[in-house]
C-alpha cells in the first residue's frame, strides 16, 4: 500500500497553518512552514531525503517552523503539529521536549496520555493511550519576538491500518 504524501501534507498543513495565526496574541503576524522529509538510514546514520510517496514502515520527519513576520512580538503562542492518519508518532523524536499530545485535537495532556476505562463490573482504572492513537502535538513556547523563528520536530512511522480480510 502506498500512502500519498500529498494527502498527508494537506491534512497536516491545513491544521498547522490554521493554528499558527489563531493561537498567538499580539501585533505580530506568525507564518508557519511545514517541511516533511523521508528518513533513510545510510551507513548507520539517519539522512533526510525529499518525501514523494511513503509506504508502511517508512519514517517521515516533520519540521514546523513558525516565524513572526510582524514588527511586534507575539505572546501566548501555541504551536500545533497534527499527526496524520495512517501514521504513528515516534515519541523519542519530539523536539523540543515538553510537548503535549492529543487524540482528538482539542484537549492536550502530558505524554504519555492516559484515559479512564470502566470495566464491565463498573470499576474504573487508568489506561495509557497507545501512541498510535495520538493525532496532535502542541508546544507552548510563549512569546515569539518580531523577526524570530522557532522550530518543532517530530517523526512518524507510516502504518497500514487496513483491516485484513476476514476468512469465511
What's the pLDDT score for residue 29? 87
pLDDT digit of tens for each residue in the chain (168 aa)?
A: 444 444 444 344 334 433 433 345 555 689 999 999 999 998 999 999 998 888 999 999 999 999 999 989 999 999 999 999 999 999 999 999 999 999 998 899 999 999 999 999 999 999 999 999 999 999 999 899 999 999 999 999 999 876 555 555
Residue 128, strand partner residues: 114
d(CA 111, CA 94): 11
User: Which residues 6+ apart lie within 8 Å of 50 measured at CB?
Assistant: 37, 38
Q: Find out whether 134 and 89 touch, Cβ atoms under 8 Å.
A: yes
| pTM of the entire predicted model | 0.78
Are the CB atoms for 83 and 149 separated by under 8 Å? Answer: no
Closest C-alpha to 157, from 80, 63, 86: 86
Cα–Cα distance, 117 to 129 (Å, whole number): 11
Amino acid at each position: 500500500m502506498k500512502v500519498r504524501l500529498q494527502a498527508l501534507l494537506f491534512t497536516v498543513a491545513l491544521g498547522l497553518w490554521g493554528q499558527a495565526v489563531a493561537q498567538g496574541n499580539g501585533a505580530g503576524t506568525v507564518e508557519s512552514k511545514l517541511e516533511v522529509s523521508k528518513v533513510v538510514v545510510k551507513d548507520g546514520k539517519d539522512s533526510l531525503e525529499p518525501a514523494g510517496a511513503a509506504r508502511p514502515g517508512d519514517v517521515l520527519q516533520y519540521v514546523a517552523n513558525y516565524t513572526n513576520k510582524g514588527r511586534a512580538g507575539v505572546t501566548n503562542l501555541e504551536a500545533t503539529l497534527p499527526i496524520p492518519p495512517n501514521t504513528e508518532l515516534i515519541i523519542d523524536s519530539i523536539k523540543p521536549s515538553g510537548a503535549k499530545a492529543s487524540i482528538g485535537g482539542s484537549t492536550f495532556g502530558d505524554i504519555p496520555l492516559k484515559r479512564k476505562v470502566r470495566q464491565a463490573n463498573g470499576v474504573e482504572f487508568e489506561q495509557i493511550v497507545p501512541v498510535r492513537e495520538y493525532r496532535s502535538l502542541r508546544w507552548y513556547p510563549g512569546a515569539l519576538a518580531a523577526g524570530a523563528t522557532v522550530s518543532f520536530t517530530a517523526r512518524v512511522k507510516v502504518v497500514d491500518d487496513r483491516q485484513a480480510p476476514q476468512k469465511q
